[in-house]
Amino acid sequence: MRMTGADILLECLLEQGADTVFGYPGGAVLNIYDSLYKYKDKIRHIITSHEQHAGHAADGYARATGKTGVVLATSGPGATNLVTAIATAQMDSIPLVAVTGNVNLDLLGLDSFQEVDITGITMPVTKHNFLVRDAGDLAGTVREAFFIAGDGRKGAVLIDIPKDVTAAFADYEPAENGYRAANALKKRENPDLERQIKEAAELLRVCERPYIYTGGGVISAGAEKELALFARIIDAPVSSSLMGQGCFDQTDSRYIGMLGMHGTKAAAETVRHCDLFVALGTRFSDRVTGDKTVFAKGAKILHIDIDEAEHGKNVTPHIEVRGDLKEILARFNKMLPRRHNGDWNKKAKRLHSVHSAKQKGTVEFPVTPQAVITELDRLTDGEAIITTEVGQNQMWAAMYYRYKTPRSFISSGGLGTMGFGLGAAIGAKIGKPEKVVVNIAGDGSFGMNMNELITLAEHNIPVIELVLNNSVLGMVRQWQRLFYGKRFSETTLDRSFDYMKLADAFGIAAFKIKREDDVEPVLAKALETAKNRPVLIECEIDRDLNVLPMVPAGKPITDPIMEID
Amino acid sequence: MVNRGFQSRAANHAACDMEKQTFVLRTENRVDALRRVAGIFSRNGCNIETVNARPEGNASVMEITVFLSGEKARELKKALNRLYDVISVDVKAK
């Protein structure tokens, strides 16, 4: 079948089950948008206010659904605007395919209007990328890109397509089976797997105080059921990284909280006392290990991950197992005897109850984020999808909402992208319309992406934007308080615009939380309203609230700061 | 429990300060392959001293030989192998 490159691109997206595209038009993608006009019954396109947030939306869509997200942008500034979104997805191993237009082939390399070398620019922040120079290569490239994005450790892939390639005709044949790259699959084979599993099983048998630490890899692998059973079989306390939130039911009695810079004291103390640290689908980020030389010093470390480059990158394990987490845990669940570590679990649990933090409001700002998020958790029965921005809002969202299922906590963990959350919420709601979606934001992040309220209103995407407004860049301020002699350089925003009027201007329902008595009724009303239209909630909080516990960067995680004057 | 081989990367650097290495890579013969490989070295502060890239046999595969010195050189094998275009990586210490 003879088709234009643009049509071939869309046919290939449909082959991959990609029926939703986030993006923004421009000159170099005119042919693609012209085809989208023809395919609008088959492919839904969501236009945002800015390409970056289209990228975050595709990312949020991927995180919420498990499918590969697709974002489309034009050449030059359209493409560079995507860079932060691509890097955000790649750092968190989220499957994303970004398609950019470029100038005609004969204009490439000549500093032409709206030309950038986007494959060069994104090389360090993608898993792989392509510049397609021939329409005949387009179908194969799109299939290959989807394969790479979703294979093994998932990630971001960019396809750059010059405008004349989208206009040129080429033969297109629907693919019977998806693309499978022999080389990549061969590299993923693990000839040592049986030996590794045997050695790991032995460690799991002889240990006395096992500890399970879960990362985002559990969610990527879809291994939550196997994990739940594994935790019961080896009878161990469970903690999660920021990216792992929700892979283990946080209302389960074995769950002892997040581990890391703002993890629970119980999670950190339990690491100190365990004799086997079982790390599942995680990369030992510096935000988790703190001082690596003393991290889990008394324990043996068993690290199970699909990416061989993570074994020994940050922490050197005693035993590494490389492969698919779902399969490996299922193997352990079959071969290991059920055991009982009553005293050990009781100790972990006791630590958890002793050190649970309680925030206090002030006379002027009595409402605390803890009270708001805990109430949100109660009203939504822990079933909502929570997206976050980055900073204090993100940490409070991770700490006080109890995630019960994977893909319910969506946050930029690796890159730490302020401005991520609202776009991600849009994508999550498009992907999971039946879910309540709440973006927990700060006023700083809100300033970075409030233009996407237009997108909420235009497409009537019933997301709740919950702004915890402390009029400062709270997390940076917290560091300035602790480490820079309270010199609050440029972190006091005090932007005195009216959130209610702003929301009204966009045609978005708006509510304000000011007193403790407001929390329950306002959240309930917002949740009711958000059944069919977007909502903004402004919640004023004190600017001197801190995220606690806190382990200063590079310090031992067992020694968190529990209070700040 | 004592000898657990736990070492931070920082400790590793000190142990192999400015080592000399030869990497022999086989990659897909695509325009960007050399640039991707070079990117891994530059990101990790390794200065390439000589590099040779030539197509192999049927020209679908390229062999890249890199001679370099750098603090992190020894740790880069896995990072190089993770590149999609890379088929195999061999490291030869000088």
Q: Say what the alpha-carbon torsion angle B23, B29, B32, B35 is, to the nearest 10 degrees.
A: 10
Which residues in chain B touch residue A123, judged by CB atoms under 8 angstroms apart? 32, 35-36, 39
CA distance B11 to chain A (A): 9
CA distance A317 to chain B (A): 7
CB contact (8 A) between residue B78 and residue A318: no
CB contact (8 A) between residue A301 and residue B4: yes
- Minimal Cβ distance to A309: which of B7, B11, B78: B78
Q: Is A494 left (phi over 0), alpha (psi -120 to 50) or beta?
A: left
Question: A258 pLDDT exceeds 60?
Answer: yes
Provide the ipTM: 0.91
CB contact (8 A) between residue B6 and residue A315: yes
pLDDT digits (tens, 9 = 90+) for A275-312: 999 999 999 999 999 999 999 999 999 999 999 999 99
Question: B8 pLDDT exceeds 50?
Answer: no
Give the model's confidence band at B74: pLDDT under 50 very low, under 70 low, under 90 confident, else very high: low
Superfamily of domain B19-93 in CATH is ACT domain (3.30.70.260)
Question: B14 pLDDT exceeds 70?
Answer: no
Which residues in chain A touch residue B89, judged by CB atoms under 8 angstroms apart? none
Identify any residues that bridge with A438 across adjacent strands, giving them in sequence order: A386, A464
Write phi, then psi, for A466 (nearest 5 degrees). Answer: -105, 105
Minimum CA–CA partner of A286 in chain B: B8
Look at residue B46 in the predicted model and tell me its pLDDT.
Answer: 87
Write down all domains in chain A, each with its CATH number in brackets. Answer: 2-186 (3.40.50.970), 190-354 (3.40.50.1220), 369-540 (3.40.50.970)
Report the residue of A121, A128, A183, A189 to disrupt the B interface, i.e. the one with the largest count of B CBs within 10 Å.
A183
What the block records as the tokens of A336 is 């290991």
How large is the average pLDDT for residues A228-246? 97
CB contact (8 A) between residue A300 and residue B5: no
- Minimal Cβ distance to A318: which of B4, B35, B39: B4
Share of chain A above pLDDT 90, in %: 95
Checking A401-405 for CB contacts under 8 A at 24+ apart, the result is: A401/A373, A401/A374, A401/A376, A401/A377, A402/A250, A402/A251, A402/A377, A403/A245, A403/A246, A403/A250, A404/A246, A404/A249, A404/A250, A404/A251, A405/A224, A405/A246, A405/A249
Q: Is A520 left (phi over 0), alpha (psi -120 to 50) or beta?
A: alpha
Residues 6+ apart with CB under 8 A from B91: B21, B22, B23, B24, B74, B77
CB contact (8 A) between residue B35 and residue A123: yes
- Minimal Cβ distance to B87: which of A183, A298, A308: A183
Residues 6+ apart with CB under 8 A from A367: A361, A513, A514, A515, A516, A518, A519, A539, A540, A541
CB contact (8 A) between residue B39 and residue A123: yes
A428 three-state secondary structure:
helix
Range of weakest confidence among A64-78, A191-205, B36-50:
B36-50
Look at residue B11 in the predicted model and tell me its pLDDT.
Answer: 40
Report the residue of A132, A187, A189, A322 to disrupt the B interface, i.e. the one with the largest count of B CBs within 10 Å.
A187
pLDDT digits (tens, 9 = 90+) for A331-363: 999 999 999 998 999 998 888 777 777 889 999
- Minimal Cβ distance to B36: which of A123, A183, A311: A123
Give the model's confidence band at B4: pLDDT under 50 very low, under 70 low, under 90 confident, else very high: very low
d(CA A401, CA A374): 6
Residues 6+ apart with CB under 8 A from A511: A522, A525, A526, A535, A536, A537, A538
> Is the separation of the CB atoms in A441 and A466 below 8 Å?
yes
Which residues in chain A touch residue B44, judged by CB atoms under 8 angstroms apart? none
Helix pair A342-354, A265-273: axis angle to 10 deg = 150
CA distance B94 to chain A (A): 23
Identify any residues that bridge with A3 across adjacent strands, giving them in sequence order: A170
Q: Where does A295-357 show beta strands of DSSP type E?
A: 300-305, 319-322
pLDDT digits (tens, 9 = 90+) for A101-145: 999 999 999 999 999 999 999 999 999 999 999 999 999 999 999
CB contact (8 A) between residue B39 and residue A293: no
d(CA A443, CA A40): 36
CA distance A152 to chain B (A): 11
Look at residue B57 in the predicted model and tell me its pLDDT.
Answer: 84
CB contact (8 A) between residue B79 and residue A315: no
d(CA A379, CA A84): 34
Pairing verdict, β B61-70 and B47-56: antiparallel
CA distance A405 to chain B (A): 30
Interchain CB contacts (distance < 8 Å): A and B:
56
Look at residue A354 in the predicted model and tell me its pLDDT.
Answer: 74
Residues 6+ apart with CB under 8 A from A368: A359, A360, A361, A541, A542, A545
- Minimal Cβ distance to B81: which of A131, A148, A187: A187
CB contact (8 A) between residue A123 and residue B81: no
Report the residue of B31, B32, B83, B84 to disrupt the A interface, i.e. the one with the largest count of A CBs within 10 Å.
B84
CB contact (8 A) between residue A309 and residue B32: no
Give the model's confidence band at B18: pLDDT under 50 very low, under 70 low, under 90 confident, else very high: low
- Minimal Cβ distance to A124: which of B39, B75, B78: B39
Name the residues of A annotated as catalytic: 51, 113-114, 163, 475
d(CA A278, CA A317): 10
d(CA A351, CA A269): 8
The CB-side HSE value for A20 (13 A sphere, CA atoms) comes to: 21
Minimum CA–CA partner of A296 in chain B: B6
Helix pair A392-400, A369-380: axis angle to 10 deg = 50
Is-cis flag, bond preceding A337, omega within 30? no
How large is the average pLDDT for residues A190-217? 97
Look at residue A353 in the predicted model and tell me its pLDDT.
Answer: 76
Look at residue B1 in the predicted model and tell me its pLDDT.
Answer: 35
Residues 6+ apart with CB under 8 A from B58: none
Which residues in chain A touch residue B26, judged by CB atoms under 8 angstroms apart? none
Range of weakest confidence among A7-16, A440-449, A552-561:
A552-561
CB contact (8 A) between residue B39 and residue A183: no
Give the residue among A255, A226, A261, A258 at the shortest CA–CA distance from A242. A258
A511 three-state secondary structure:
strand
Which residues in chain B touch residue A309, judged by CB atoms under 8 angstroms apart? 78-79, 81-82
d(CA A279, CA A557): 16
Which residues in chain B touch residue A181, judged by CB atoms under 8 angstroms apart? 84
Token pair 């993770």 is found at B82
d(CA A179, CA A146): 8
Minimum CA–CA partner of A124 in chain B: B39
CB contact (8 A) between residue A309 and residue B84: no
Give the residue among A212, A206, A348 at the shortest CA–CA distance from A279. A212
Interface residues of chain B, partner chain A, Cβ below 8 Å = 1, 4-9, 11, 28, 31-32, 35-36, 39, 43, 75, 78-79, 81-85, 87
Look at residue B94 in the predicted model and tell me its pLDDT.
Answer: 62
Give the model's confidence band at A12: pLDDT under 50 very low, under 70 low, under 90 confident, else very high: very high
Helix pair A325-335, A224-234: axis angle to 10 deg = 30
What the block records as the tokens of A490 is 């440029």
Average pLDDT of the residues of chain A: 96
Query: For chain B, how are helix, strand and coil distributed in percent, rounded to 5?
Result: 30, 40, 30
Identify any residues that bridge with A388 across adjacent strands, giving them in sequence order: A440
d(CA A154, CA A152): 6
